[in-house]
A and B are shown apart, each in its own frame.
Chain A
Amino acid sequence: MTSLVDRYVFTALRRIPEQQRADIDRELRASIDDAVDARVDSGEPFDTAVENTLLELGDPDKLADNYANRPNFLIGPELYGVWRRFMLMLFTTVLPIVVVVNVVVAIFGEDPQVGDIIGGAIGTVLTVGAHLAFWTTLTFAVIERTGLGKADLRGGAWSLKDLPKYEPRAISLGQMVTYVVWPVILIAVIVVQQFTFTDTPVLDPAGWSLWWPVLIALIALKALWAVWLYRQGAWTRAIIVANAVLAVVTGAYLVWLLASDRFFNPAFDWTTDNGTDLLSWITPAAIVVTIIGTLWDVAEVTIRGERARRGLPTKVAGTGNTYKFG
C-alpha cells in the first residue's frame, strides 16, 4: 500500500518537468521527513505528524506550479490590453460585416426564406464568433508563452504623440473620409447607371456632352472641400463660405436641370402598371428634395463651423463633456 507521503509526492511530481523529477522527489521527501521528525519530537503521534505536515504543504498541484515556475494565466497583463482591443475590433467590425455579407448573399440567392435567413445569420454569428475568439486567444497564448513578437505587438513605448486630439475645431480623419466617400459613390452611381441597373439609363444620356461632366465636377469639388478642411485643421470663414457657395451652386444647377427636363431620361419607361406617369411627379419631388438638402447642408456646416470657429463650447466625442477650446 502506498503511504500518504508517497501519494503526495507522486501527485506533485506528475506536473513537474521530467528532468527535474528525481531531484525534487529526493529533496521533497527529505523536507517532509524533517518536518515530521520535528513534529514527533514535540510530542505528536507519527500519523498525525504526517497528516499535519502534508496539510501545511498544501495542494500538491499548486506546489508543482511553484516548482515549475510556469505562468498560471493564459494571457498576461502585458498582452491583455492588445488582446482585448483586438477582440473588440473583431466582434464589432469583422463579425457584423461577415454576417451582413452572408445575409445579403442569402437574400439574392435562390428562393430566399425569411426563416432560413434569420437562422443562417444566427448560425454565422455563433460559428464565426467562436472561431474568431478561439484562434485569436490561441495565438495570443502562444505569443505569451514563446515571447515571439511580443515587443512588436505591444507597439513602441507610449509617447505624448499618442494622446488623441480632442479639438472639435477641425474634422477627424474619419469624418473627412465620410465626406469624401459620399461624393465618390454619387459620381460612381451617375457613371454606372448609364450602363447597368436598367435597360434604358434613368438619367438623360444627352447630358453627357456637358451637363453630367459639370455636375460630376461640382460633386468632386465637395470632396476636395472636405480634404481642404481636414488639411487646414481649423474652421475658417473662407471654408464656411466656400461650402455655402458650392452647395447653392450645385443645388441651383440641379434644380435647373430638373426644371428644364434635362435631368431624367424621357426614353425611360416612366408609366406604372396602372398608367400613372411617374415623371410628372418625380421631377417636382426631386426639386423639393434638392432644395431642402441644399439648405440643410448650408445650415448644418455653417452652424457647426461657426461654433467651432468662435470657440464656443462643443461636445467632445467619447467624453460626454463639453469643453471650451482656444
Chain B
Amino acid sequence: MTTDATLASHLQELRRGTVVVASLIALRTPGYGYSLLETLSEAGFDVEANTLYPLLRRLESQGLLVSEWNTDEARPRKFYRTTDQGNAVAETLSGEWSRIDRAINDLSFTHPGSDK
C-alpha cells in the first residue's frame, strides 16, 4: 500500500461517524437531502451524496430523525428533522468527540514531536 492509500484509509476510518453527528446537529433545523449536503460541505465536511442520502433513511429508521414530504413548492422534497432522541444521541456523540480531541491534545503536549 502506498503512503497515500494508507493515509486515505486512516482518514476514512477517522471520519466515519462524524457525518452522523454533523447531520443530527444540522437537522435541528429541518432540511432535505441536497440542502444538507450543501450545509455540510460548506461547514467543511467531506461527505458524498451516495453515502449521505442512504444514511438519512437509516437514521430515520433508528428513530433519530423524522421525515415529512413538503409538497407546497413546485418540487416536492422530503424534509428531515432531528428527534429528541436524535438530539440526545448528538449531544453524547459530540461530547465524546470533544473528549477525544482534548485527550489527543494532552497526549501531543506530553509527547511532543521533533521540530526538524
Contact = CB atoms under 8 A, between A and B. Distances in A.
A1 to B, nearest CB: 23
B76 A67 contact: no
A318 to B, nearest CB: 31
B3 interface: no
Interface string B26-48: 00000011110110000000001
A28 B37 CA distance: 13
B76 A30 contact: yes
Contacts of B38: 38
A202 B34 CA distance: 92
Nearest to B53: A31
Contacts, number: 53
A14 interface: no
A241 interface: no
A26 interface: yes
B54 interface: yes
Among A24, A26, A66, max chain B CB count under 10 A is at A66
Contact of B33 (A23, A27, A58, A67): A27
B2 to A, nearest CB: 23
Contacts of A24: 57
B50 A69 contact: no
Contacts of B51: 66
A178 to B, nearest CB: 47
Contact of A66 (B34, B35, B50, B78): B50
A97 interface: no
Contact of B77 (A30, A35, A63): A30
Nearest to B61: A69
B50 A58 contact: yes
Interface string A6-42: 0000000000000000011011101101110010000
Given A31-B34, A38-B34, A69-B58, A26 B76 contact: yes
A56 B50 CA distance: 8
Interface residues of A, number: 19
A213 B38 CA distance: 93
A192 interface: no
A42 to B, nearest CB: 12
A34 B77 CA distance: 10
Given A35-B34, A66-B50, A30 B57 contact: no
Contacts of B50: 57-58, 62-63, 66
B78 A27 contact: yes
A35 B34 CA distance: 7
A66 B19 CA distance: 15
Contacts of A58: 48, 50
8 contacts: A30-B32, A30-B33, A31-B49, A35-B49, A57-B50, A63-B53, A66-B55, A69-B54
